[in-house]
């Protein structure tokens, strides 16, 4: 569908009908009644974690409507033996150099005890981990993302640290960030890229 819109916009633009061309590409890709859709996903490696303070860092890659890298500074604050809260900062940098910083506020749960395979002689797999839910709020944005400052997006993550970490690789985090207006946001990002020559 989007490909047809782009072809139509190109043909109309050649004919000097730029207002019609703009209207042909301004229609959202998302169906509003379908609920939240995936905006972007990130796959990070935990490179630093202090078990005494709960402070750490993870970094990795982003894909979806945004393609690039992510870096997160985090602190897990225990609220019980198996639950946490956090108020983290995550920077997404895309392949064109535009960036967003998110405030990531949420809660998490550690799975205790972790499942084990008694038939294995290799021992346990995960030292600490579980699901997390968060609200991602854009606090700073550059370039094509500036219009998103102040927007809030729901997200879910799975985080885990391995039993036998190596130096600089302690575990991993997978996260998904959603929006109920992915099509509208994606169209605006595309228009901004065209306007900025990206």
CATH of the domain at 112: 2.40.160.20
Burial of 116 (0-12, 13-18, 19+ CB in 10 A): exposed
164-184 burial, b for 16+ CB within 10 Å, e for fewer?
A: eeeeeebbbbebbbbbbbbbb
Tell me if 198 is assigned to some domain. no
Q: Tell me, what's the pLDDT at 8?
A: 42
Residue 109 is part of which domain span?
32-181
Q: The tokens of 62 are what?
A: 């982003």
Q: Tell me, what's the pLDDT at 83?
A: 96
Q: What dihedral angle (degrees, nearest 10) is formed by the CA atoms of 164, 166, 170, 174?
A: -100
Model pTM?
0.79
Q: Tell me, what's the pLDDT at 113?
A: 86
Q: Tell me, what's the pLDDT at 2?
A: 55
Tell me if 22 is assigned to some domain. no
Tell me if 12 is assigned to some domain. no
| DSSP per position, 122-137 | S--SEEEEEEEEEEEE
For residue 157, count other CB atoms closer than 10 A to its CB: 22
Q: Tell me, what's the pLDDT at 34?
A: 66
Tell me if 86 is assigned to some domain. yes
Q: Tell me, what's the pLDDT at 24?
A: 40
Q: Tell me, what's the pLDDT at 172?
A: 95
Tell me if 16 is assigned to some domain. no
Q: Tell me, what's the pLDDT at 23?
A: 42
Tell me if 5 is assigned to some domain. no
Q: To which H or E segment does residue 164 belong?
A: strand 152-166
The residue among 67, 71, 57, 65 whose CA lies nearest residue 161 is 57
Tell me if 164 is assigned to some domain. yes
* pLDDT tens sequence for the chain (198 residues): 455 445 444 543 444 444 434 444 444 444 444 689 999 999 999 999 998 999 999 999 999 999 999 999 999 999 999 999 999 999 999 999 999 999 999 999 999 888 888 898 888 888 889 999 999 999 999 999 999 999 999 999 999 998 888 878 899 999 999 999 999 999 999 999 999 998
């Amino acid at each position: 569908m989007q490909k047809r819109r782009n072809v139509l916009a190109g043909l109309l633009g050649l004919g000097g009908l730029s207002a019609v061309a703009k209207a042909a590409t301004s229609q959202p890709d998302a169906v509003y009644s379908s609920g939240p859709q995936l905006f972007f996903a990130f796959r990070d490696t935990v490179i630093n974690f202090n078990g005494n303070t709960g402070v750490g860092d993870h970094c990795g890659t982003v894909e979806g409507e945004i393609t690039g890298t992510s870096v997160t500074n985090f602190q897990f604050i225990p609220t019980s033996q198996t639950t946490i809260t956090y108020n983290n900062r995550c920077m997404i940098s895309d392949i064109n150099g535009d960036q967003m910083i998110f405030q990531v506020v949420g809660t998490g749960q550690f799975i205790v005890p972790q499942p084990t395979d008694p038939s294995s002689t290799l021992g346990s797999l995960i030292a600490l981990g579980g699901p997390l839910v968060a609200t991602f709020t854009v606090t700073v944005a550059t370039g094509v993302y500036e219009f998103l400052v102040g927007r809030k997006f729901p997200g879910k993550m799975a985080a885990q640290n391995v039993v036998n970490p190596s130096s600089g690789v302690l575990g991993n985090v997978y996260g998904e960030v959603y929006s109920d207006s992915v099509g509208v946001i994606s169209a605006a990002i595309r228009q901004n890229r065209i306007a900025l020559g990206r």
